[in-house]
Amino acid sequence: MTEPSHNPFANLEVPVEEDYLHCIRCGTCLYNCPTYRESVRETDSPRGRIFLARKVLEGEAKLTPNLIEQMYRCLACGACNEICPVGNRPADMALQLRWLAQQVEPAGWKQVVFHQLLAKPGLMELGTLPLRLYQLLGFRTVANALRLTSLLPRQLRDMERQLPKVPARPARSRVPSITQATGQGAPKSRVGYFLGCAQNLLFYPGATAVVRVLARNQNQVVTPESAQCCGMPAIGYGDWDALRAFARHNVQLFEKLDVDVIVTDCATCGSTLKEYKHYLASDPQWAERANAFSSKVQDISEYLASCDLVKPEGRVEGRVTYHDPCHLVRAQRVSAQPRKLLQLIDGLEFVEMNEANWCCGSAGSQIITHYETSMAVLDKKMANVAATEADYIASGCPGCQMQLTVGVKRSGLRAKVVHPVQLLDWAYEQHQR
Domains of the chain (ranges, CATH numbers)? 17-104 (1.10.1060.10), 109-161 (no CATH), 171-305 (1.20.1050), 312-432 (3.40.50.1860)
Model pLDDT, residue 390: 97
CA–CA dist 264, 112 (Å, integer): 26
pLDDT beyond 60 at 118: yes
Model pLDDT, residue 4: 45
What lies within 8 Å, CB to CB, of 252 at 6+ separation is 289
CA–CA dist 405, 427 (Å, integer): 22
pLDDT beyond 90 at 308: no
Nearest to 344, CA basis, from 420, 417, 265, 416: 420
pLDDT beyond 90 at 279: yes
Residue 210: which pLDDT band, with cuts at 50, 70 and 90? very high
Q: How many CA atoms lie within 13 A of 75 on its CB side?
A: 34
pLDDT beyond 90 at 431: no
CA–CA dist 35, 31 (Å, integer): 10
CA-CA-CA-CA torsion for 329, 330, 333, 336, nearest 10 degrees?
20
Q: Which of 151-155, 179-183, 275-279 has the lowest mean pLDDT?
A: 179-183
Alpha carbon 352 to chain centroid distance?
A: 22
Q: Which of 5-9, 189-193, 346-350 has the lowest mean pLDDT?
A: 5-9
pLDDT digits (tens, 9 = 90+) for 333-381: 999 999 999 999 999 999 999 999 999 999 989 999 999 999 999 999 9
* Average pLDDT of the segment spanning 255-274: 97
* Average pLDDT of the segment spanning 183-209: 90
Model pLDDT, residue 3: 45
pTM (two decimals): 0.93
* Average pLDDT of the segment spanning 409-428: 96
| DSSP structure class, residue 22 | T
Model pLDDT, residue 6: 66
What lies within 8 Å, CB to CB, of 141 at 6+ separation is none
Alpha-helical regions (H) of 73-128? 79-83, 90-104, 108-112, 121-127
pLDDT digits (tens, 9 = 90+) for 320-336: 999 999 999 999 999 99
Beta strands 219-222; 178-179: pairing state:
antiparallel
pLDDT beyond 70 at 433: no
Model pLDDT, residue 7: 77
| Residue type present at position 142 | V
